[in-house]
Structure 1
Amino acid sequence: MRGISALTRRVCRLDTQRLAAAVLFVAVFAMAARVPTDTDVWWHLKAGQMTVETGRILQTDFFSHTRQGQPWINHSWLTQILLYLLFRHGGYLGLGLFQALVATLAMLLVYRQMEGSVFLRGFIVVLTVITAAVIWSARPQLLSFLLTALLGYLLYLYKWRGVNRLWLIPPLFVLWVNLHAGYALGFMLLVGFVAGEVLNNLLAWFTREAPADPILPWRGVGLVTLIGLLAVLCLAVNPHTTRMWTYYLDTVGIGALQDLIPEWASPDFHPLYTQPFIWMLLGTLAVVGLSGRRVDGSDLVLVAGFAYAALLARRNIGPFALVTAPVLSRHAHPIVERWLRAARARGWLPLPRPPRPPTAPLVLLNWLLLALALLAAGVKAYLPLRAEFNVAYERSTLPLDAIEWLRAERPPARLFNSYNWGGYLIWHLWPDYQVFVDGRTDLYGDAVLDEYLRVWRAEPGFQAVFDEYSVNTVLIETGGPADNFLALDGSGWTVVYADEIATIYVRGEAR
């Protein structure tokens, strides 16, 4: 009976503000449920399939002929299993709903850290979503996005609410290091938080003023530091043990990374989809300046640090949005309150009324509106995630027709392929064809990636790469530099297939 009474009370409390919050997150879910367009998804799916079918975590390369049999730090093995099972049982819909759920949970954790009315927080959540959505895809990286939000929430609880859940951080990193190598974001967050609290304590000692916002005492700073050191040790709890301590640094040290992968390069602010990052950064600076509230040291260090990281690499725009949104709300809230008081003083707005429980007709109307929002979100999520829609999308943007030709005609192996298509080819063609290169940049390193770039750019003498790796078949983008060169070159390469997306060449003597 108590459970029924509690449920009844919750049902009857669906007032306008709760409705607005519910509709907000229904909209976030609907926006995040979209077509999986990142081709790296496909090699993750193939790796997950092999792990499930063999019962062994992949630690050597099977998918390429350039690095076959070499050690491979497969840091996302656990996520790969999850993604493969979702795809096997749910298809494109399963991947899309996974992406939507993870993104929505991350936004909910950010929302819980904010100050202000539901409408102010809702506006900032929308800004956060359109800023961070550039990195959302059904890849292990998305779980790092969620875990960054969760770690930020744990630190928020400790500092701003006095609730100690820091004991969750070491097991969180054990999970994180087996899901994705983005655990480095977690350490950025911990180091920035500790540095900010050190700054807060030093400023309080120097100015002898009591801060308006809570700061951690030195004992608390020491506890967070100790937890962070324990988290470092926990990184060794994975199939690759202590190699994960330096894995991230080894990856970012690859020279060809920014040449090959746009998300590792500095963002290009000319396309509209990257400009919300500028809006959020400049808006936060403006609001902090206008709020009249002293900037908290942790907020300052974290926003500055993650903004710096986002300016260096587009993939860090999402984490920047996560740490900046609560700061933006803390400084926007007093500005909005001042404006509202001034508007009421001038008679432009009515005085606030004491809160009252919503009437039965209003509750019924709110539930009806929520049901309509859920229905609309369901339709929006389902339509682009149908298998036929996704296959048509792949056929118009990826070399699916060329892959079908390869399966039917079976030209000789030793393939040279576009980097962007490597993961997609692994899913569709392995084990019949092994790729030259794919999105596992840490596996290939500069040695192979530089050779790939020589061919892709059609640099002088690039055909020596084909001889070095005994390449007999080339699958590249139609109209690219290498395609144009091979089409005019008389060195024995013959076009055997071509469409608007892909062109296939076969070496003359291998036909």
Structure 2
Amino acid sequence: MTSAVSENGWKAAASSSEPTDHFAPDGLDAHAGALQAAMPLLLAALIAFAVQIYLDGDTGWHLGAGKWIIANGVVPTADPFSHTMPGKAWTAHEWLAEVLMVGADRLAGWGGLAALFALSAATTFWLLARQAFRFLPARWAVAAVGAAAGVLFPFALARPHMLAWTLLAAWTVILLRAREDRSAPPLAAALLMVVWANLHASYIFGFGLAGLFALESLIENPRDRGLLARWVAFGFAAMAAAALVTPFGPSDFLYPFQVSGMEALSVIGEWRRSTFPADALFYTCLAGLAVLIAKRWRSMPPLRLLLLVGLSAMAILHARHQMLFAIVGLLVVLPMLNPAAAKRRALPRAAWFWPAVAVLIAVRLAVPYQFKEHSSYPLTLLETVPDEIRRQPVYNEYSQGGPLVMLGIRPYIDGRADMYGDAFTFRSRDINRGDMVKFREDVARFRIRWAVVEFDDGIKPKLEREPGWRKFAEDKHAAIFVKTDR
């Protein structure tokens, strides 16, 4: 064992009267400090240069919202974008992320956005790696962080939820460290909620996580009133930070529950049920967790066991919750994999990590980003549409609404299903599949003069035969039709 490993308590743990580690150190441990920094850097580089983070049309309307907020100096409370729902109440709960995204976009366009999300990824995976290398030998730590990254990468999209990864990981580490120290989190940590509550609705899960660990502390120390008071103070401070330093106040607490109850979630890809083999890695990790629980459930803290089961169920029911499963699940499982390692100090931080991240971000900003168009982003095709047509009401597919907002075109629908509601979202799906009766009704109702549809949409071949419509332009991604009034 090298001196670097010895400094981190590996020898001390093995020679003490405490139970020995379940995992034996291996040859890679001599390089554990470097690996702990290299993994997050590599994963961030993949986000910056290799992974396509612009596959989701929602990026477009988030940019549009950020530009509107900066231009008007306020957070909107009613729809300023669509031609179908103008003025309808809308909760722009991700406004801070949208402003940050616009700032990155103005700095270096698509490359600036990629740099922002690469920085978020670097920080998130650094937090995960710090914990993984603390509890596991190097090869197992690499495997654990790699598995978490594999689950997360399909959701690596240029949207606010990816920025929330960092806050979720940091919040979970803070809570776990407080429980290890048999204490409560520092009050200053509650300030994370000021950012989180304005960044993404997942902050509500953060409250639930804090409540669970507070209850665990109370059960373990029922007579320690001072400790209970510190947990209660932390909880109230976090809630005050979320409620008082947001544009929407306490009413914003209800928003995530309202969205999760929508029937239209069934037609949105990320809210689908996790399936095999589409989500093979998730189910592989889930099987590993099931084996761990079956072998050690008697020694597992009951509330943490309940948390892991709950995370698993959430991720099965809705694929987007695989992100919670990967981040929180890994951080919670690590101490259970190797309980004897809980007394280890974390590895010394590699001094070169953050300078290397800075270099990565600088390179990403300097190198022009090669944006790849696809069916949700037919930007070149949209540029061919004359201004007099662009200003008129349009019919568009759900995922194309975001790019239209980004270009200043009022969409028929976009990714804000929470604002459009169940009925309208289902209606747009039916039209997109080829329901021409509903299409004609909406053409008359909203005075639609043109349409942009994806190349494989069911409505495309029917529009090609529809009287009074002609194909204006098309490419391999999409087609544009214009009403001829015949």
Shorter-chain TM-score range: 0.7 to 0.9
User: Where does residue 42 of structure 2 map in the other structure?
Assistant: 27
Deviation at 1:408, TM superposition (A): 6.2
Q: Describe the SS at the equivalent of 1:137.
A: coil
Number of aligned pairs? 440
**Would you say 1:294 and 2:270 are equivalent positions?**
no
User: Where does residue 48 of structure 1 map in the other structure?
Assistant: 66
Asked if the contact 1:422/1:437 (under 8 Å) is kept, the reply is: yes
User: Where does residue 419 of structure 1 map in the other structure?
Assistant: 398
What is the distance in 2 between the residues matched to 1:119 and 1:217? 40
TM-score (norm. length: structure 2): 0.81
Asked if the contact 2:77/2:91 (under 8 Å) is kept, the reply is: yes
User: Where does residue 310 of structure 2 map in the other structure?
Assistant: 305
What is the distance in 2 between the residues matched to 1:314 and 1:188? 20
Deviation at 1:233, TM superposition (A): 4.3
What is the distance in 2 between the residues matched to 1:265 and 1:216? 41
**Pick from 121, 125, 148: which aligns with 1:107?**
125
User: Where does residue 351 of structure 1 map in the other structure?
Assistant: none
What is the distance in 1 between the residues matched to 2:242 and 2:94? 13
Deviations 1:260-319 (A, max 9, x none): x21112123323xx3221121111222344469711223212211111111111111011
User: Where does residue 465 of structure 1 map in the other structure?
Assistant: 442
**Pick from 387, 392, 399: which aligns with 2:378?**
399
**Would you say 1:476 and 2:457 are equivalent positions?**
no
Which has more radius of gyration? 1
Q: Describe the SS at the equivalent of 1:236.
A: helix
**Would you say 1:256 and 2:243 are equivalent positions?**
no
User: Where does residue 201 of structure 2 map in the other structure?
Assistant: 181
What is the distance in 2 between the residues matched to 1:82 and 1:405? 30
User: Where does residue 465 of structure 2 map in the other structure?
Assistant: 488
Identical residues among aligned pairs (%): 25
Counterpart amino acid of residue 254 in structure 1: M
**Would you say 1:121 and 2:134 are equivalent positions?**
no
Structure 1 residues 80 and 247: alpha-carbon distance in aligned structure 2, compared to 1, 3 A threshold:
same
Deviation at 1:397, TM superposition (A): 6.4
Deviation at 1:410, TM superposition (A): 3.0
Deviation at 1:483, TM superposition (A): 1.4
**Would you say 1:389 and 2:378 are equivalent positions?**
no
Deviations 1:451-510 (A, max 9, x none): 3123112236212122122211111112321112222333x2222222222122222218
**Pick from 213, 234, 258: which aligns with 1:193?**
213
**Pick from 242, 257, 263: which aligns with 2:250?**
242
Q: Which structure 1 segments of 5+ residues have no match?
A: 1-8, 202-214, 337-365
Q: Describe the SS at the equivalent of 1:495.
A: strand
What is the distance in 2 between the residues matched to 1:175 and 1:380? 25
User: Where does residue 347 of structure 1 map in the other structure?
Assistant: none
What is the distance in 1 between the residues matched to 2:41 and 2:141? 15
What is the distance in 2 between the residues matched to 1:379 and 1:228? 35
Structure 1 residues 335 and 194: alpha-carbon distance in aligned structure 2, compared to 1, 3 A threshold:
closer
Structure 1 residues 459 and 408: alpha-carbon distance in aligned structure 2, compared to 1, 3 A threshold:
closer
TM-score (norm. length: structure 1): 0.77
Q: Which structure 2 segments of 5+ residues have no match?
A: 1-6, 8-28, 342-349
Q: Describe the SS at the equivalent of 1:270.
A: coil
Name whichever of 219-228 and 17-26 sits farther off.
Answer: 219-228
**Would you say 1:454 and 2:430 are equivalent positions?**
yes
Asked if the contact 2:57/2:376 (under 8 Å) is kept, the reply is: no
Deviations 1:93-133 (A, max 9, x none): 22112212212222222334441223322221111111122
Q: Describe the SS at the equivalent of 1:476.
A: strand
What is the distance in 1 between the residues matched to 2:180 and 2:40? 24
Counterpart amino acid of residue 418 in structure 2: D
**Would you say 1:18 and 2:49 are equivalent positions?**
no
Q: Describe the SS at the equivalent of 2:373.
A: helix
Deviation at 1:145, TM superposition (A): 1.8
Structure 1 residues 494 and 412: alpha-carbon distance in aligned structure 2, compared to 1, 3 A threshold:
farther
Counterpart amino acid of residue 406 in structure 2: W
What is the distance in 1 between the residues matched to 2:321 and 2:81? 28
Counterpart amino acid of residue 154 in structure 2: V
What is the distance in 1 between the residues matched to 2:177 and 2:456? 54
Deviation at 1:254, TM superposition (A): 2.0
Counterpart amino acid of residue 424 in structure 1: P
Deviations 1:334-377 (A, max 9, x none): 799xxxxxxxxxxxxxxxxxxxxxxxxxxxxx99xx89x969x9
What is the distance in 2 between the residues matched to 1:144 and 1:89? 21
Structure 1 residues 265 and 79: alpha-carbon distance in aligned structure 2, compared to 1, 3 A threshold:
same
User: Where does residue 57 of structure 2 map in the other structure?
Assistant: 39
Counterpart amino acid of residue 173 in structure 2: Y
Counterpart amino acid of residue 445 in structure 2: E
Q: Describe the SS at the equivalent of 2:471.
A: strand
**Would you say 1:318 and 2:323 are equivalent positions?**
yes
Deviation at 1:450, TM superposition (A): 2.8
